[in-house]
Amino acid sequence: MLPDPGRLAAAAAQHFIAIARRAIRKRGRFAAALAGGSTPRGTYQALADSRQSEAVEWSRVQVFWGDERCVPPDRPESNYRMARETLLDHVPIPTDNVHRIQGELAPERAAVSYQAALREFFTAPGIAPRPPRFDLILLGMGADGHAASLFPGTRALQEEKRWVVAQYVEKLDRWRISLTLPVLNAAANVIFLVSGSEKAEALREALAPDGSPELPARMVNPANGELLWLVDAEAAALLRD
Ligand code: 6PG
């Protein structure tokens, strides 16, 4: 637990850099899926700070997204736009290394197109496709316990084959594109960034032994990877010890 959002962002940036450097040392590249929403802003700004960003060989970084709103990339709600403004415009990452979800397309087409991009990047020719193994997936969590755009009680949570789904989110009256649990749970590292008192109940549900198993955030548990929760004091207020 970190005392405040600023320290949470700094810690998340340090973990990002450490995982990136390790992946680049081992495999010559680092593939990350970025989170959307507002919480990660601080982390991306910390990463963009030159004293930090110089620690990463950005030409070897490949950036994807965990989910996207079905809007064009220049709209304020776009997760791509948020990451571009806070991070990608401030580091020397080659354009070809940025693999955004095309929120401007019809939802189903956006999902199919993104899955094809994942397959092209992660699956060697002639090899049977398996869920992409990201070096790092950053996730936020909604006050209802959703992760990426996997919302409680939705069919997307049951998806076992597709890596990407288009999901109409009733409560938001919006379409979203999201990675599915097979991909989230194939990652080498997943880091949840959770900040603010409005997340305290969902965080308790997600982490407490008696928490609800239907909570999407609780269903993220990499089979062969590390799961780290970076939370601030307000979000952790209901956690015992
Ligand atoms: C999105 C995110 C979503 C987000 C949570 C938390 O597209 O909005 O992917 O899953 O992480 O809703 O959002 P905040 O960080 O804004 O609280």
> Can you give the three-state secondary structure of 101-162, one letter per residue?
CCCCCCHHHHHHHHHHHHHHHHCCCCCCCCCCCCCEEEECECCCCCECCECCCCHHHHCCCC
Q: For 80-103, what is each residue's pLDDT tens digit?
A: 999 999 999 999 999 999 999 999
CA dihedral in degrees (158, 159, 163, 168; nearest 10)? -80
What residue owns the CA closest to ligand 1's atom 13? 37
Closest atom of ligand 1 to 35 CA is: 9
Ligand 1 pocket mutation pick from 8, 34, 39, 81 by most atoms within 8 angstroms of CB: 39
Q: Which residue has the tokens 């549900």?
A: 205
pLDDT of residue 115: 98
- Cα–Cα distances (Å) from 238 to 4, 39, 193, 203, 233, in that order, read 16, 19, 17, 8, 10
Q: For 100-149, what is each residue's pLDDT tens digit?
A: 999 999 999 999 999 999 999 999 888 888 999 999 999 999 999 999 99
For CA atoms 144, 46, 186, 204, give the dihedral sign.
Answer: negative
* Any atom of ligand 1 within 6 Å of the Cβ of 142: yes
What residue owns the CA closest to ligand 1's atom 8? 37
Q: How far is the CA of 40 from the centre of ligand 1 (A)?
A: 9
pLDDT of residue 240: 80
Pairing of strands 226-231, 174-179: unpaired
* Any atom of ligand 1 within 6 Å of the Cβ of 38: yes
Ligand 1 pocket mutation pick from 8, 75, 146 by most atoms within 8 angstroms of CB: 146
pLDDT of residue 241: 64
Closest atom of ligand 1 to 149 CA is: 10
Q: How far is the CA of 29 from the centre of ligand 1 (A)?
A: 27
Q: Residue 110 forms beta bridges with which residues?
A: none
pLDDT mean over 4-18 = 97
Q: For 19-65, what is each residue's pLDDT tens digit?
A: 999 999 999 999 999 999 999 999 999 999 988 888 999 999 999 99
The DSSP code sequence of the chain is -BSSHHHHHHHHHHHHHHHHHHHHHHHS-EEEEE--SSTHHHHHHHHHSHHHHTTS-GGGEEEEESEEESS-TTSTT-HHHHHHHHTGGGS---GGGB----TTS-HHHHHHHHHHHHHHHHS-TTSPP-----SEEEE-B-TT--BTTB-TT-GGGG--S-SEEEEEEGGGTEEEEEE-HHHHTT-SEEEEEE-SGGGHHHHHHHHSTTS-TT-GGGG---TTSEEEEEEBTTTTTTS--
The angle at the Cα of 143, spanning 38 to 111, to the nearest 5 degrees, equals: 65
- Which tokens sit at 185? 């749970």
pLDDT mean over 71-80 = 98
Closest atom of ligand 1 to 39 CA is: 15
Ligand 1 pocket mutation pick from 137, 141, 198 by most atoms within 8 angstroms of CB: 141
- Residue 72: which of 64, 60, 84, 80 has the closest Cα? 80
Q: For 145-182, what is each residue's pLDDT tens digit?
A: 999 999 999 999 999 999 999 999 998 999 999 999 99
Q: Which amino acid is at 234?
A: E
* Any atom of ligand 1 within 6 Å of the Cβ of 42: no
Q: How far is the CA of 193 from the centre of ligand 1 (A)?
A: 10
> Global pTM?
0.97
Closest atom of ligand 1 to 67 CA is: 9
